[in-house]
Every structure is written in C-alpha cells, then in structure tokens.
Amino acid sequence: MAAANVLILCEKPSTAERVAKALDENGKPKKNETSRVPHYEAYRVGKRLTVVAALGHLYTVAPKVSDRNVYPVFEFEWVPRYVAERDAKGTRTWIEVISTLSKDANEFILATDYDIEGATLGYTILKYACGEKEKEAKRMKFSTLTTDELKKSYAELIEHIEFPIVEAGVCRHFLDAIYGINLSRAMTVAAKKWSGKHLTLSTGRVQGPTLKFLVDREKTINTFVPVPFWAIKATVEINGQKFDAEYEKDKIENRNEAEAVVNACRGKKGTISEMIVKSFRQNPPVPFDLGALQAEAYSLFKYTPKRTSDIAERLYLEALISYPRTSSQKIPPSINSRAILESLSHEPKYKSLAEQLLSGQSLVPNEGKRDDPAHPSIYPTGNLPGKALGESERKLWDLIVRRFMAVFGKPALKQSAKATISIDGHRFFLYGKQVLDEGWMVFYKPYIQSEEVLLPPLERGQEITFKEVSVEDKFTKPPPRYNPSSLLKKMEDEGIGTKATRAGIIDTLYSRGYVTGERATVSELGLDVVDILERHCPEVISIGFTKELETNMEEIQKGTKKAEEVLEKAKLRLEPVLTEMKKHQETLGQELSEAARNAQMQQRVIGSCLQCGTGKLIILYSRQTGKRFLGCSNFFKGKCKTSFPLPQTGTVKPAGKNCDVCGWPMVQFQAKGKRTWIFCVRPECPSREVRK
C-alpha cells in the first residue's frame, strides 16, 4: 500500500508555517513554492504531510445573473473570488495550486480557524478546489498556535468537519448576498437612472438596522429641548481640609426653592447626623471575550473595534494569545493556567506577579456566564515575543496578560463612607472611598481607573463649617452619541451581526460616509438614506427581522432548522420589498441622487467666507489646470473673488472650526500614510508661520 500523503489545509500562510513546524518530526519542514504560493512538506509517523494555506476566503457567493443593473436576483452560487471580484485576481493561482496538490493526496485534514467562517471557508475549498473531499476530510481543532496544542490537535483528529456549522455559515453567506446585493442594486440602479452617475450606495440586513440605531439617536439629540434646573454646590471645611458636599436633591426644578436652600444654609454650621461606613468585596474581572476586549481597548487606547480585532489576530498568528473571535468568558482546566503563568514569569515585568499567583495552593478563575462551544476566552499562551512587538501589539498583549492574571486574584477589599450633614432642615452628604486590600487589582493596576477619597475621622454630633453654598444654573442634556465601542455593544445587546462581523459593519458605515467622527455623528447622507428606506421599504432596516434571521442561523447550527427553510422565508419577505422599490424607482432615484449630491457638496464646503460675509468657501477645480483650490461660492454670482491655494495631493476635509488667530475656517489635510494636519486656509495667517 502506498504511503499516506496528507493534505492539511490552513487559513493563512503564517498558520501553515506554524502547523508544519509543529508537526514535522524534526521541526524543520521543507518549504516549497509553486507559482509563488508557499506550501510545506513535513513528515510524521510515516506519513508525508503537505501543509498549504488559503488566502482567506477563496470562494464567494455571487448571483447567477451577473448584470449589475438587474434585480431582484434570487439564484446564487459559490464561485471563485477572482470571478466575482476585480481585486481578487491573485486568488486564482492559490486555487490552482491547492487543486494540484490535492490530486496527490489520499487523506485530507482541515486546519482552518474553528469557527463559522473558518469552517465555511474550508468546506468550499475542499468541495470546489479539491474535488468534493469535504465528506472525507478530518478536522484539527485548536485555540492556540503553540507547538504542543497543534501536536495534540493532530493526534486527536475529529473524524469529520462540523457540517451543522458549515450549513449555518453557508446560509449566512447566501442571506448576506441576497439582501446586500439586491438592496444595494436597487438603490444604485435607481440613482443611476435618475442622475446618469454611478453612486456607491449600500445597505444590508445588518448594516441597515445598525445605521437606524445611529439615526434614532441623532434625531433624539437634534430634537432634544434642554430643560433648566438648579443644583446646590457646597464646600465644607474639616480640620483645615476642604471637601465637596452633595445636596440631597440632584435637581431642583424651581430657582426660588434653590435660592431658599442657599439662604437657609449660607454662613451656618451643620451637624453630622449619621455616619455609615461599609466594607465590601469586589470580585476580580472575568476573562476577555472579543466584545469585552474591544470595549476595554477602546476605553484605554481609543482603538476602534476593527483595529483591536486586527491586532488580536496578529497576536494569535504569532502564537502569543488564543483565538480571539470568541464569545466565551471561561478558562477551562485543560488550558493549564499554571504552566502559562510559569512561562510568563520569565518576562521580568510579570515575574513577581506570576510568582505571587503560583505561590497559592490553587488557581481558580473568576469566570463569566457566557460560553462558546468552539473556543475558550482570550488568554495568553505563555509564549514570549520572539521579536520586538509594535506599540499597538505590545499594549494589547500586555492588557490580555494582565487581565488573565487578574481573574485568578483574590477579591479586592474596599470601604465606602457616607456622612450626612444636617443643617436647618436640609441634608448634605460627604462620600469617601478607600481600598483596604488591593487583591486582584495589583495585577491589573495600570488599567484601573479609580480614585480614592479619604474622609477624616467623623462622629455623630460633630459640627461642620460650610465655607460656600451657591446655586448652579444647569440644563438637562441629550443622550450621548454612540462611539464605535458603545455601538458594537448595542449590536451585541440587540443580537444582530456576529462577533466576527460587527466591527467590519461599523467600518463600512464610516467608509460609505454615513457616519463620521469618534462620536458617531450621522451625516446628512446617512440620515437621508434611512429616511428614504423607512418610507419606501421599512423592513430593510427592521431590527426585529434581522434578529429573527440571527436566531434562525443559531438553530441551524444546533440542527433544529434547515438552511433551505430559512433562505426560502427570507426570499418571500424580501421579494415584495424589492417589487415596491422598483415600482417607485424614479422617486427613489431622485431622492438618493439628491442626498448623495448634497453630501458631496457638504464635504466640499470648508466654512464661511469672511470677505463677503454671505458666501461659502468650497473646494473647486480649475478648468484650465485641473488643480484644486478654495473659492467663494459668490464668485459664480460675480460678488466675491476670494480664493486660497490647497495641497494637490492627499485628502482635504473641513476641520469644523475656525482659526483662533484670524477667524478664517480651518481645513484638515492628510497625505497618504502621514498624520493629519489642521491649518488655517489663509497662507499669510501667523498661525501657519508658527506651524512652519
């Protein structure tokens, strides 16, 4: 019988290299290249292993009708990415090489990421590139790319790939294509027929409802009417120290009532009528799942969810952390946390912290409720960096390491104090807080934002001197805008999108120009798109319908529902929506075209012209030279000739503020790969001389 030739299919080239090194008996697999596609030859227990990687998804779902002006289309199929996407021509070579290598193999092992995307990606390659080998392929399951875990995964192969997850993944891809392609075509075709211009407009079954969250919040903010109220500000002195005291009412709705409080208390002494001191334990944090890591990284470093996901992926591929796309908050015993801490103790900055945990009798993590059948929570593998990490990688790795150690720490012991000061029938409160025993906090200290307020010894009946009592005029405030982190949390809470797709959807909203800024401000285009969809096809932005589809896909994974049933139901729901959009195509096209034109114009308006007082400074292009410059909108009316030069390369946007020195508008400029520069439009402005 011929020796077994095993084809091991990985997801990315760096993963293939690690798998080959881990499985080769000598740890030195031979690297080969075919048409610049790397693959590795390794030997293990008498078998020749050929380890090759995909380049992400090599196949995608595409409509059988390729004409982009035709909709609705409900017949879709898997095709090579190079067939459907202009920028994916390189995937053709990868498919051809994998197909050739598969012909020499008599065993197949799937070693892609163990999640819905990894399973779907591997299934399509096994089926279409390897000649329908999906049913005979075995499966490697691992959560880290450490040598030991990869060897263990190979030794304990799962007999087949995870077909229920594959079915759910295939269903998700078809649903996203059916909704995204049809709806985007309907919008784009309508706009093109009206204006004659191609506009990049899109929506989808998750993108639409997510934008609706933002628009609803934007409308709430824009229509918010501030209501006045009054607050009492008080300062007391105790043993020569000053403390802020809080009045018993946060808001007083009548100014006369507020002034009466001040008049009753000013210049008098109060008395401590009650003193409550409580000690309590604060449990350690729970392990990171992807959403919690993204939220913490945004809070601490202002990394967007997408950026955090990308950095975590790089750390995973370097075998420094476990697989990041997980919703688990569990650390199972199989991870061998003691061995990880022993390894981390070789890093000087973690040595004393790791040894402190290792000196205890047992390591019991404080776990959260959420679990993930595919992977445990995010944790450090114990491997130390083999090369210097970039700043963002170093920060995120440190955060993950310290969080891992913190979950094994003891509860922190804290103390709170509340003193009630009574004065002429009114009550004020003093609050103190203090850490008595840091417990787990010692491991997570760089990332804890906590301030202690120490009150002096106080007793009931003690007189307190009020140094100041005054009235503050205040107004109620609207709810804050979402930021990328809080928007991702909203998507999680509403159950739309997945841990792997949410960050990308938020990025798409920004790239489409629907949303701008760190505090997600919906642009006029975003507001108009939702308004138009709400009037013509409200189901497209329905949160309820999207949640229903997500639930259906979870049921497919569990084997309680079939993909065909879910897809058929989705088609039946979408078809009348598309029919209605086609019926009102002219109106829809006009509204979308005008919305896009207004949005483009707004991006070109830098600010007001101070020369004539009525015009706007707009980015214009010279008919003779093609060069861009700033000109006053009143130029076309023959009323103002104001103009300023602009850089001819890079991106120019309105900065949204005026120069502090001369008052003219400022622009935001960014050359490719460079940091943003904000400057005054007037070349002779002194602020620009200072900048130079």
Residues with a known catalytic role: 323
Helix or strand or coil: residue 507?
helix
Q: Which amino acid is at 63?
A: P
Radius of gyration, alpha carbons of the chain = 31
Provide the 3-class DSSP secondary structure of residue 224: coil
Here the contacts of 507-513 (C-beta below 8 Å, separation 24 or greater) are 507/304, 507/306, 508/202, 508/207, 509/207, 509/210, 509/211, 509/214, 512/200, 512/201, 512/202, 513/599, 513/603
462 class by beta-carbon count within 10 Å (0-12 exposed, 13-18 middle, 19+ buried): middle
Q: For 430-455, give the DSSP string.
A: EEEEEEEE-TTHHHHGGG-----BPP
Q: Among 495, 552, 556, which Cα is nearest to 168's? A: 556
Q: Phi and psi (nearest 5°) for 354? A: -65, -40
532: tokens are 């138009």
- Residue 216 has a CB neighbour count (10 Å cut-off) of 12
The single-letter DSSP state of residue 250 is S
Omega cis (within 30) before 209: no
Secondary structure (3-state) at 231: strand
Tokens linked to 298? 């945004």
8 Å CB contact between 214 and 526: yes
How far, in Å, CA of 50 to CA of 405, rounded?
38
Q: At what angle do helices 524-536 and 585-604 cross, to 10 degrees?
A: 170
